[in-house]
Homo-oligomer: A and B are copies of this chain.
Amino acid sequence: MNKIEVGFQEICEAYTRIKPYVVKTPLIHSDKLSELTGCDVWMKMENLQPIGAYKLRGAMNNMLSMSKEDLARGVVAASAGNHSQAVAYAARMQNASAIVCVPESTPINKRESAIRYGAELVVYGADYAAAEERAHEIERQQGRKFVHAYESPETIAGQGTIAVEVLLEKNDFDAIIVPTGGGGLLCGIAIAAKAIKPDIKVYGLQTDTSAPWKKSFEEKKLNNDCLFIPSIADGLEGEITWPNVELALTCVDGIIVVGEESTKEGIKWMAKNHHYMIEGAAATCIAALLEGHEELKGKRVLCIITGGNIDLDKFCKVCEAEYPARG
């Protein structure tokens, strides 16, 4: 696999490029979580993007970086989650045709969102890998551009614009915590944040039910030999690939693993105290703070609230459960 080349310049270019098409999301202070944890807690509310998640940034940057000829041939993507919605939405904004490949396990409502934004839906295979294979087949057959969910310079640069946006608004954070699945968001934010403020710390977050980043990052080599249990943070689930780990090793400070139960508690805490519905991935930020990890103690911490696309049934089930008290 090729090394990914993306730097602060590409992120700044992406920032300028996508600015008219994405929402400058609010940066809010949580006095309650600050009191509770002894940290000074701020949250970047990417759940308030039009599709309900930050993924719009990367998809939009891909779309706006293409030639007119490429746009005319259309795009293809694979994802069971927010990336399909993002690509469908971004393509519609550019009057481009989009095909989105999703695995058979994708719930009806997530299929519907991509169709709603005008994408053609291809349901194929048992898992993400199979759906991605099908997407590449369509790429070859139809000459469509493949828009990667987390592992292309355009995608990473697009996600990194969050750090530019937020650090130009307020820049005295000690640390940024970033929910991490494929790692595109983590790398984009780390590159931009370190360029603006070299001594800031950037940590990736995963749940203990799916934490291949922890071993891979610490051993400095790809290691997918870990538990993979379905998680409330479904956006972070699954195996990872080397290129983003390699990139992360140049700019990220560490990976924090949070408990599955704490993540559920994070969803509930946010709903109860700030009246926001956030998805499991985003709630790993709250979980990390509630668990009191050493790296964050007493720090001014920026949480990336990545998205709010959670099924109402699942949300209510989580919010009604009791989670064990912590020390």
**Which residues of A line the B interface, CB within 8 A?**
23, 26, 28, 31-32, 47-48, 50, 52, 116, 268, 271-272, 274-277, 308-310, 312, 315-316, 319-320
* Whole-angstrom CA separation of A23 from B27 in the bound complex: 11
Q: Which residues of B contact A31 (CB under 8 A)?
A: 116
Find out whether the CB atom of B316 lies under 8 angstroms from the CB atom of A275: no
A310 — which chain B residues lie within 8 A by C-beta? 275
A320/B316 contact (C-beta < 8 A), A23-B26, A277-B271 known: yes
Pick from A116, A274, A308, A316 the residue with the most CB of B within 10 Å: A316
A275 touches B47 (CB 8 A): yes
Report chain B residues within 8 Å CB of A275.
47, 52, 277, 308-310
How many monomers of this protein are in the complex?
Answer: 2
A203 to B85, CA, bound (A): 35
Provide the residues of chain B in CB contact with A52, threshold 8 Å: 274-275
What are the 9 tightest A-B residue pairs by CB atom distance, in nearest-first order? Answer: A275-B308, A272-B312, A316-B316, A275-B277, A271-B312, A316-B319, A316-B320, A312-B319, A52-B275
